Amino acid sequence: MTKNYTHEPVLPNETIKYLVTNKNGIYVDGTLGMAGHSKRIISELNEQGRLIGIDWDPEMLALAKKGLAEQAGQTTLIQGNFADIDEILPRENIIGISGVLFDLGVSSLHFDKASRGFSFKHDGPLDMRINPENPLTAYTIINKWPYEQIEHLIRISGEKFSRKITKLIVKEREKNTIVSTSDLKNLIEKHFIRRKDKIHPATRTFLALRLAVNSELDNLLKGIHSATHFMGKGSRMCIITFHSLEDRIVKETFKSMVKLGGWELITKKPIKPSDEEVASNKRARSAKLRVIERTEVQK
């Protein structure tokens, strides 16, 4: 029996409130997922309004197409990476947009589907690829990369025990190939019974691997830059982050854009989910929404 996966969009009301300022506009959902935000965007548009949905994962794109079947006349759904917006939009003859949304991280489906290998809560292969055509997997990193590269990845994810964890990985792989998410989780868990910050001891290691496999931080910077080429006066960029690495990049990049001129921060501080939303959707607890608006197109 095929399991039906669901995904609850984070900060849906706040996102639409800040994003949709022109009901006749063209909006880009650069992280389409299961179309939770996209459905709400379309519901705010007039008949002339249009949505461009982009997702790197063909499985997610197929689910989104089903979910948006009734709105097919107003939507164009594309398999691709939002980092390549500057290549994707011209192919659709789009030269300007009214807004763009990046909901970063991965979908609930990725975490819940064991075969995708994203979560240590489910035993599966060490994969973590958003796009299955990506040649790099978490398995390759863990079993093939040198100590220095693995340690660096884990350290920049915020893991203060990066050296100890990397030494455990290198020592273990000399004896046995680390094949599954459970293999890696159990290896780390054995040496870290309880932590003061209350998160599972493998959390930041898994985050580091996912970010590296999918080049998420590099793609974020490229995506922001690419999208600005199509944003006219009054258009807005909304970005939802889920951990400090992403949020720091967005915060500092937005600050730089404002300093260079032609942009205004709409959210002086990030918008966070309410207690009620967190209670109904635990994955929303670390979400932060930042919004910037183009006030002038510099020539």
Q: Looking at the chain, how many residues does it have?
A: 299
**Can you give the residue ranges of every domain in the chain?**
12-109+216-294, 135-213
H/E stretch holding 245: helix 244-260
pLDDT per position as a tens digit, 11-56:
999 999 999 999 999 999 999 999 999 999 999 999 999 999 999 9
Region 116-125: what's the mean pLDDT?
Answer: 91
pLDDT tier for residue 271 given thresholds of 50, 70 and 90: very high
Least Cα distance to 85 among 136, 149, 28 occurs for 28
Model confidence at 1, pLDDT cuts 50, 70, 90, reads very low
| CATH number for region 12-109+216-294 | 3.40.50.150
DSSP 8-state assignment for residue 180: B
Is 5's pLDDT higher than 90? no
Pick the CATH number of 135-213 from 3.40.228.10, 3.40.462.20, 1.20.120.420, 1.10.150.170: 1.10.150.170
Average pLDDT over residues 148-165: 96
**CB of 130 within 8 A of CB of 110?**
yes
Residue pair 237/231 in contact (Cβ under 8 Å)? The answer is yes
Asked whether 199 and 143 are in contact (CB, 8 A), the reply is no
**pLDDT level of residue 154 (50, 70, 90 thresholds):** very high
Digit-coded pLDDT (tens) for 208-260: 999 999 999 999 999 999 999 999 999 999 999 999 999 999 999 999 999 99
Beta strands 97-103 and 26-29, pairing class: parallel
Tokens matching residue 149: 């590269």
Q: Counting Cβ atoms within 10 Å, is residue 199 exposed (0-12), middle (13-18) or buried (19+)?
A: exposed
For residue 188, give the nearest of 162, 158, 151, 213 by alpha carbon.
162
Residue with the larger pLDDT of the pair 67 and 111: 67
